[in-house]
């Protein structure tokens, strides 16, 4: 049964926006009608093939001299109402609690027509932003008043329950399209930023403090002291300049390449030998999963949901991000042992295909929608 779904999400490169967009596109391919709502078109929507059942509705926030802070959450709620009334949307799917869940609940109350709200929690909406005292009561309200709640890992579900935000939370893991994200030859791309025989370490993020780009650079500096190597930094954010400064301080500035924000990430990932993600907190670690699908083992922190994705010593390396030296020495050992490296790269790919391929998890979202419509 085809369902009409409105997806409220962030349009940026961050994981929640990526999952929301990939989910919407996959659902559209399965015949559902998808309406994305955000303040700009989601990044991953750009360049996608034309699908007649995919719509984007820009949430416009009108400025007014009285408004020091134009109320985006109200504009989003109003847009959701408009989209439901115009297109007969049956489900409002909020990705990220703040403010999307609250706006969706408000829209449902305004409509009063039985439309259902499903909220998907992604991590920082519960563990960081949502816990800020300026947002906590509203975050709790949005989550509790949703008709259904999903979380992207068991760890995040447990953290949410601990905060008494909601008890009935279904875990629906993040997923990856393992046909698009796959190992591929990339001599040409590599040649731009690395020489033959050099190892390439890669970090992709929004360079916020939670991603610990300082640890990324510290790990790399030790690897670079042990073997010819390069560090590629993809993405942008407040900590990027600091990471580059640290690299210069540690004497590896000329081996670090900031590539900026890139769209075709599936073409860059397979060029790396290792993917670094030593975050302070990570509810799932979608970037690590995308690397694994490309046959690139992650070197990541053993926090949050990452141990549910990466099996330490099998499909990647997990450790304490405050012990960069330990993570670095395990990375060096792996890179020096070709047989062990090949086995880990193959295990990483296999784990992504067998446990996190999108075909497995899209069906779980469809089932959640069905249950809501029948309730």
Binding site for ligand GMT (CB under 6 A): 14-17, 19, 96, 122-124, 152, 174, 206, 208, 210, 279, 281-286
Nearer to ligand GMT, 285 or 332 (CB): 285
Nearer to ligand GMT, 90 or 290 (CB): 290
Nearer to ligand GMT, 235 or 319 (CB): 235
Give me the least distance between CB of 281 and ligand GMT, in Å please.
5
Q: What is the DSSP string of 330-374?
A: HHHHHHH-HHHHHHHHHHHHHHHHHHHBHHHHHHHHHHHHHHHHH
H/E element, 315? none
Give me the least distance between CB of 125 and ligand GMT, in Å please.
7
Q: Give CA torsion, residues 111, 112, 118, 124, to 10 deg.
A: 60
Q: What is d(CA 373, CA 90) in angstroms, rounded to the nearest whole number?
A: 8
Give me the least distance between CB of 288 and ligand GMT, in Å please.
8
Nearer to ligand GMT, 214 or 282 (CB): 282
Give me the least distance between CB of 302 and ligand GMT, in Å please.
14
Q: What is d(CA 34, CA 45) in angstroms, rounded to the nearest whole number?
A: 12
C-alpha radius of gyration, the chain, whole number: 21
CB-count burial class (<10 Å; 0-12, 13-18, 19+) for 142? buried
Nearer to ligand GMT, 17 or 270 (CB): 17
Give me the least distance between CB of 237 and ligand GMT, in Å please.
9
Give me the least distance between CB of 86 and ligand GMT, in Å please.
28
Give me the least distance between CB of 162 and ligand GMT, in Å please.
16
Q: What is d(CA 145, CA 139) in angstroms, rounded to the nearest whole number?
A: 10
Q: What is d(CA 123, CA 238) in angstroms, rounded to the nearest whole number?
A: 19
Nearer to ligand GMT, 152 or 332 (CB): 152
Q: Give CA torsion, residues 297, 302, 306, 310, to 10 deg.
A: 40
Nearer to ligand GMT, 201 or 287 (CB): 287
Give me the least distance between CB of 87 and ligand GMT, in Å please.
26
Count CB neighbours of 29 within 10 A. 14
Nearer to ligand GMT, 124 or 315 (CB): 124
Give me the least distance between CB of 308 and ligand GMT, in Å please.
11
Count CB neighbours of 312 within 10 A. 14
Which candidate, 124, 103, 118, 110, places its Cα nearest to that of 59?
Answer: 103
Task: Give me the sign of the Cα torsion angle 287, 315, 214, 335.
Answer: negative
Nearer to ligand GMT, 33 or 290 (CB): 290
Joined tokens for residue 310: 């990466």
């Amino acid at each position: 049964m085809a369902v009409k779904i409105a997806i409220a999400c962030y349009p940026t490169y961050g994981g929640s926006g990526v999952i929301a967009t990939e989910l919407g596109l996959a659902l559209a391919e399965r015949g559902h009608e998808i309406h994305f709502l955000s303040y700009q078109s989601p990044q991953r929507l750009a360049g996608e093939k034309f699908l007649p059942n995919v719509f984007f509705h820009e949430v416009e926030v009108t400025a007014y001299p009285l408004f020091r802070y134009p109320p985006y959450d109200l504009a989003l709620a109003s847009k959701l109402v408009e989209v439901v009334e115009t297109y007969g949307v049956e489900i409002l799917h909020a990705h990220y609690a703040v403010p999307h869940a609250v706006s969706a609940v408000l829209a449902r109350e305004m409509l009063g027509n039985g439309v259902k709200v499903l909220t998907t929690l992604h991590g920082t909406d519960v563990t960081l932003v949502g816990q800020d005292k300026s947002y906590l009561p509203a975050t709790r309200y949005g989550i509790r008043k949703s008709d259904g709640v999903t979380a992207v890992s068991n760890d995040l579900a447990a953290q949410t329950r601990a905060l008494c935000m909601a008890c009935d939370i279904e875990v629906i893991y993040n997923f990856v399209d393992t046909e698009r994200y796959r190992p591929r030859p990339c001599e040409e791309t590599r040649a731009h930023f690395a020489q033959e025989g050099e190892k390439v370490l890669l970090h992709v993020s929004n360079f916020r403090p939670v991603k610990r780009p300082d640890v990324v650079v510290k790990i790399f500096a030790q690897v670079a002291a042990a073997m010819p190597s390069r560090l590629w930094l993809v993405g942008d954010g407040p900590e990027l300049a600091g990471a580059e400064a640290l690299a210069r301080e540690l004497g590896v500035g000329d081996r670090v390449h900031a590539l900026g924000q890139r769209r075709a990430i599936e073409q860059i990932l397979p060029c790396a030998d290792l993917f670094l993600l030593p975050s302070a907190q990570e509810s799932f670690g979608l970037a690590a999963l995308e690397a694994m699908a490309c046959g690139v083992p992650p070197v990541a922190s053993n926090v949050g949901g990452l141990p549910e994705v990466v099996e330490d010593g099998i499909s990647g390396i997990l450790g304490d991000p405050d012990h960069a030296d330990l993570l670095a020495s395990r990375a060096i050992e792996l890179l020096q042992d070709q047989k062990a490296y090949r086995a880990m790269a193959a295990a990483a790919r296999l784990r992504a295909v067998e446990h996190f391929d999108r075909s497995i998890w899209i069906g779980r979202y469809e089932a959640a929608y069905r249950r809501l419509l029948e309730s």
